[in-house]
Amino acid sequence: MSRARVDMWQMGHAFAWEKEGWFAPLSVLLEGLSAAQASWQPPGGGNSIWQTLTHLNYYNERYLLRMKGEPAGPALENNDATFAPGNPDDEAAWAATVAKTREVADGYSKLLAEMTDDDLDKPFGQGTVAGVLPALITHMIYHTGQIALIRKMQQSWPARRDG
């Protein structure tokens, strides 16, 4: 069974989640953050890192479950509800949010490792699995960039870094 197309999406997921490349992956950006730092909101408004990660967890988990043929559970009432704020004093809840992110990302790694190119052509929603993977990976990279900027704004990330 061919895996040329799956390998491409597997690599895209690896760069978005954990593999250092042209930009810091999400897993690296989450390292060493406290609940207070994760809860910090930029002056003038905007989402915190915690809110952004909760949003990513919501959508990434739902799509992962659906790709595995499992029920995703009831949907939230709207997209704004996916940006749930965290408590800056609750380190355990922040650790649980990061652990959920890791669990879901590892689930995608496992799913992609088991797929063949034929699996990409399977129906998914109104399209195919191949049609949703680029959006999921791009969505993660988009929000990863936001998290990097928030960390730079709060000075919890170096202005320049190697790797």
- The model's pLDDT over 63-122, given as tens digits with 9 standing for 90+, comes to 999 999 999 989 999 999 999 999 999 999 999 999 999 999 999 999 999 999 999 999
Looking at residue 61, its amino acid is: E
Instruction: Give the pTM.
Output: 0.94
Identify the H or E element spanning 154.
none
- Tokens 């390292």 belong to 31
Domain annotation for the chain: domains and CATH numbers? 1-12+35-71+78-115+125-163 (1.20.120)
Residue pair 26/147 in contact by the 8 Å Cβ criterion: yes
**Torsion-angle region of residue 60: left (phi > 0), alpha (psi -120 to 50) or beta?**
alpha
